[in-house]
Amino acid sequence: MVLRKMVLSNFSSRETFYDTRIMDSIDFMVELIESLSQADLASRLTINCLNSRVNTSLMRGLKSVTIMDVFDDYALGSPIKEKIYQEYPDAKLAQLKSGGNFPYLSRSDEVNLHLQIHLRKYDGTPFSASDNIPNGE
């Protein structure tokens, strides 16, 4: 019970936003968190809070990284955002004017558009996300 209250207290209140889509995304996540058992919530928070690091030096040559970012307030601070930009200097940026902590919920059309643009280069290849894989594969 205490753990759940701590997590939910970190969400901005509905009164903070004037955008109904952001408010709805917060409401959805609150409902989702309230539906989790104490054990599930604790395990997800444990995974989320582990002090670990991805070895990005192994991925320096990748040209197919897209970072999606929003310009409004969200849970990650500027230092973390800047660190991500530094770790992936060749990444493409998909920037949304707003979206809150859950842009994939509040701005799903824009997020899907950016995903389609990012994945378009894989059409007709074995890495395609669609069913249109070339014959003979």
Instruction: Record the pTM.
Output: 0.71
Q: Does residue 22 lie in a domain region?
A: yes
pLDDT digits (tens, 9 = 90+) for 22-69: 889 988 988 998 899 989 998 988 988 888 877 877 776 667 888 999
Could you tell me the two tokens for 56? 């990005």
Q: Does residue 63 lie in a domain region?
A: yes
Q: Does residue 129 lie in a domain region?
A: no
Q: How many domains does the chain have?
A: 1
Identify whether the C-beta of residue 15 lies closer than 8 Å to the C-beta of residue 27.
Answer: no
Domain holding 14, by residue range, is 2-122
Secondary structure (DSSP) of 18-84: --HHHHHHHHHHHHHHHHS-HHHHHHHHHHHH------GGGGTT----EEEEESS--SS-HHHHHHH
**Residue 14 predicted with pLDDT over 60:** no
* Residue 75 or 101, more confident: 101
7 CB-near residues (< 8 Å, 6+ apart)? 33, 41, 45
Q: Does residue 132 lie in a domain region?
A: no
Q: Does residue 134 lie in a domain region?
A: no
